[in-house]
Amino acid sequence: MKQDFIATEYVLQSVKTGKQFEDTGWTLDAPGETDPTLVRAIYKKKQIEVKDDSYGIYKFSDWLPVNKVLKGSCAPVTYKSEGLAKYLGLENLYITFSGYWPEKGAMFRTCSFKETESYSVCARMNSDMKKILVVASAGNTARAFARVCSDNNIPLLLCVPEDNLDALWFGEHIHDCVKLIATKSGSDYFDAIHLSNLACQVDGFIAEGGAKNVARRDGMGTTVLSAVTKIGRIPDYYFQAVGSGTGAIAAWEANLRFIEDGRFGKNKMKLMVSQNHPFIPIHNAWKADSRPMLHYDDNEARKHVEEMIAKVLSNRRPPYPIVGGLYDAMKDAGGEVLLANNTELKEAAKIFEDIEGNDIHPAAAVAVATLIKETKATHIEKDAVVMLNITGGGEERYKKEHNLHYLSPKHVFDINPDLEEVKKVLKY
Ligand SMILES: Cc1ncc(COP(=O)(O)O)c(C=O)c1O
């Protein structure tokens, strides 16, 4: 890789008011505004120039809010499907793959598109920030952040439920700049988020910010940058399984940038997002034509999380209502919230593996299952340009080919710990 990287030029903009302001380093909210809104990056370069593959994901740095290039990343890979396309009778099916598939040039060592966001978020961090990044996750996100921080010597604190620790597998050793704390067995992702909120109140720690972090969204948007620059035009349909919906918001924002770019068409991809039945809160809000999420009883939600296979899709408070969030994206671009149950996702994963030749993550199989159903129902025109976002895959293969290391927690907290206890543990 060439060492001539210059920080990307951009400003931030409130989606609600359109007001523009400088990024002071880690701006997550519009200064002085009280109504909840996402902020968006407005890049100086309107026509993207894609760099060569040696830059990894930073080949798309014109549209990433980054000031450096970190080691070890890989950009999502897009290819024109033959097998699945024939099976479905689609003439223009493109698969964007973020995972482990060396023959296709996909080398995501943690096997999911969460690497796109972690390489982008960590390269947004300024070297003089001198803060420890705090990330709460139930699995894929934690693994992705651990990998990038370990390889680039960036201090990181992960908060993960104890029951999910088996998701913290790695093909290579993890440096001790990465620390892990857990919430005890029986707790879930929301308890881990609570713990991370406490950690962020301790001096020296800083929240990653989730969907509010422009680097997270624009990192995920590289799936669309990969697809559009490969296909040569903006697709008609975008299929992705969602938990928070951040990936789909990012896809819409990337689409808007391409319209401004002017060389790839003017259309908006229909956002065909999907959930794993019975955990379907986004579906329910969308079908009710409601911006606010509908009431979801905690116990019922926990029961549904236990039942569903694609557990990474179990976000109970997605950035759906917020201005610039998923509701606005889908209203603007059009689309549907589709469903797949466990049986359908297992069948879809098998079909993908048999026909395309790689194992895929259960979440990605939800997207495949809904594409199969929509095509069978003749809702997708034969000649439509379809982007299928395979958000994770090759994990079984990667695990077979590598000796795995697991990260162990520095401390396991009771559910609902108090701040003093967290402070004591974090004094390292
Ligand atoms: C493999 C995979 N696919 C899809 C998703 C859903 O992404 P989002 O939360 O952006 O909707 C996740 C989230 O963790 C994931 O890990």
Helix (H, G, I), strand (E, B) or coil at 157: strand
Domain ranges for the chain, please list them: 10-63, 77-111+215-399, 132-203+404-426
Strand partners, 183: 161, 413
pLDDT for position 3: 56
**pLDDT of res. 368:** 99
Backbone dihedral angles phi then psi of residue 4, each to the nearest 5 degrees: -105, 25
The residue type at 46: K
Ligand 1 site-directed mutation target among 38, 141, 242, 246, most atoms within 8 Å of CB: 242
**pLDDT one digit per residue (tens) for the chain, 428 residues:** 555 678 999 999 999 999 999 999 899 999 999 999 999 999 999 999 999 999 999 999 999 999 999 999 999 999 999 999 999 999 999 999 999 999 999 999 999 999 999 999 999 998 788 899 999 998 899 999 999 999 999 999 999 999 999 999 999 999 999 999 999 998 888 889 999 999 999 999 999 999 999 999 999 999 999 999 999 999 999 999 999 999 999 999 999 999 999 999 999 999 999 999 999 999 999 999 999 999 999 889 989 988 999 999 998 889 999 999 999 999 999 999 999 999 999 999 999 999 999 999 999 999 999 999 999 999 999 999 999 999 999 999 999 999 999 999 999 999 889 999 999 999 85
- Decide: 114 in ligand 1 pocket, CB within 6 A: yes
Nearest C-alpha neighbor of 302 from the set 162, 179, 205, 191:
191
CATH no., domain 132-203+404-426: 3.40.50
| CA angle centred on 380, ends 376 and 382, rounded to 5° | 90
Ligand 1: residue whose CA is nearest its atom 14? 312
Backbone angles phi, psi at 196, to 5 degrees: -65, -35
Please check whether the two domains, 77-111+215-399 and 132-203+404-426, share a CATH topology: yes
Name the pairing type of β-strands 237-241 and 270-276: parallel
Rounded to whole angstroms, what are the CA distances from 129 to 26, 65, 124?
9, 16, 10
Ligand 1 site-directed mutation target among 38, 111, 112, most atoms within 8 Å of CB: 112
3-class DSSP state for residue 196? Answer: helix
The DSSP annotation for 297-341 comes to -HHHHHHHHHH-S-GGG--SS-S-SSBTSHHHHHHHH-EEEEEE-
411 secondary structure, DSSP code = E
Ligand 1 atom closest to the Cα of residue 211 is: 10
Please tell me if the CB atom of residue 243 comes closer than 6 angstroms to any atom of ligand 1.
yes
Confirm or reject: Cβ of 417 under 6 Å from ligand 1: no
Closest ligand 1 atom to Cα of 361: 1
pLDDT at 302: 85
User: For residue 6, how many C-alpha atoms fall within 13 Å in the half-sphere facing its CB?
Assistant: 2
The answer, yes or no, to whether any atom of ligand 1 lies below 6 A from the CB of 112, is yes
pLDDT at 316: 87
Ligand 1 neighbourhood includes 247 CB (under 6 angstroms)? yes
CA distance 409 to 192: 13
Query: Strand 385-390 relative to strand 156-161: parallel, antiparallel, unpaired?
Result: unpaired
pLDDT at 428: 55
The span from the CA of 260 to the CA of 46, in Å, is 7
CATH classification code of 77-111+215-399: 3.40.50.1100
Q: How far is the CA of 392 from the centre of ligand 1 (A)?
A: 8
Q: Report cis status (omega within 30 of 0) of the bond before 278.
A: yes
Q: Map residue 173 onto helix, strand or coil.
A: coil
User: What is the bridge-based pairing of β-strands 100-101 and 106-107?
Assistant: antiparallel
For atom 5 of ligand 1, the residue with the nearest CA is 242
Q: Which position has the token pair 């994770």?
A: 392
In sequence order, which residues have a C-beta less than 8 Å from that of residue 53 and are 6 or more positions away? 59, 75, 105
Task: Please give the single-letter amino acid code of residue 152.
Answer: N
Cis peptide before 161 (omega within 30 of 0): no
Atom of ligand 1 nearest to the CA of 114: 16
**Ligand 1 proximity of 370 Cβ (cutoff 6 Å):** no
| Rounded distance from Cα 27 to ligand 1 centre (Å) | 24
Ligand 1 in reach of 318 Cβ (< 6 A): no
Distance of alpha carbon 104 from alpha carbon 92, whole angstroms: 19
At 328, list the tokens.
């606005």
CA distances to 109, 305, 390 from 99, rounded to whole Å, are 7, 24, 8
- Ligand 1 atom at shortest distance from the alpha carbon of 273: 11
Instruction: Check if 81 has its Cβ closer than 6 Å to any atom of ligand 1.
Output: no
Q: Which atom of ligand 1 is nearest to the CA of 364?
A: 3
Return the pLDDT at 1: 55
Reported pTM: 0.96
Q: Whose CA is nearest to atom 13 of ligand 1?
A: 312
